[in-house]
Structure 1
Amino acid sequence: MRTCRNARTTTTTVLAATVLALTALLPSTAGTAHAAGPPTLGACATGQLCLWAKPEFKGARQTHELSNLDINSCTALPAGTSAQSLTNRTGRPVTTYQSAECAETGEFQTYPGDGVWLPQSPYQVRAFKVWER
């Protein structure tokens, strides 16, 4: 019996040590606040193109109404400003440009108009074009 009890004690000790070792590998959540869910998308109404100065829809927001935009024309952001996140709810494709003149020598990207939320642009947006469908 004594041998059986020692084997059981050894097995229990090994299991406890294994659980302890695995627990040490998991990230600690003690003393940290839990996120209140998924990241918040930038508020932007239907028919608008919304641009934020900072990533994750933060900082100053510029709102452009489709009804006030010249289709197929370059719209530069105000001098000295740029955007790092955007929402396109215009219903039309929008191309954003690194260049303030919509030059294709810099970075540019087209986003569909059926509801795009881009929390981080790969470049500073300085201008955009709204296209016909």
Structure 2
Amino acid sequence: MRTIALAVLLALSTVFGLTSAAAADPLPCDAGELCLWSEPNFGGELVVLTLSDTGVEECVPLSEDIGVRSFINRLSKPTTVYQDEECATEGEFDTYPGGGTYVPSAPFTIRAVQIWTL
């Protein structure tokens, strides 16, 4: 009986291990990146920002040609997304925590971002 229980436990561990590996993130957004897509569900043109090329607490307007409609924040810092290209708070804006926030459908078209210190 103990051998059967051990075999079942080992089988379940293997199945769950394979499931975890299969569920690995297929999107091209590494740790330390803010990945922005022009279409919902992480489609269309991709723009990647990192802390090495983006000033912290600085408003970063995005290309006029691209309105961001989905994004992933894998930075270690929170990021605010803005409807206004000058980070004005008169339009829509929301702040998302860092470390792995996935937003497949932004609540508005994003035209600028601002990365914050902790």
TM-score (norm 1): 0.68
Deviations 1:50-69 (A, max 9, x none): 00000000000000111111
Alignment map for 1:87-126 (pairs within 5 Å): 87-126=72-111
Greater helix share, structure number: 1
Q: 1:101 to 1:56 in 2, by over 3 A?
A: same
Runs of 4+ in 1 over 4 A off after TM superposition: none
**d(CA) in 1 for partners of 2:98 and 2:40?**
20
Provide Cα deviations, 1:102-122, integer angstroms capped at 9, x if missing partner: 000000000000110100001
Shift of 1:79: 1.8
Where 2:41 maps in the other structure, the secondary structure is helix
Instruction: In structure 2, list runs of 5 or more residues that go unmatched.
Output: 1-21
Taking every aligned residue pair, what percent have the same amino acid on both sides? Answer: 38
Counterpart in the other structure of 1:73: 58
Rg comparison, structure with higher value: 1
TM-score after normalising by structure 2: 0.76
- Structure 2 residue corresponding to 1:64, chosen from 29, 38, 49: 49
Tell me how many residue pairs correspond in the alignment. Answer: 96
Look up the equivalent residue of 1:76 and give its one-letter code: P
CA RMSD of aligned residues (A): 1.6
Q: CA deviation at 1:41?
A: 6.0
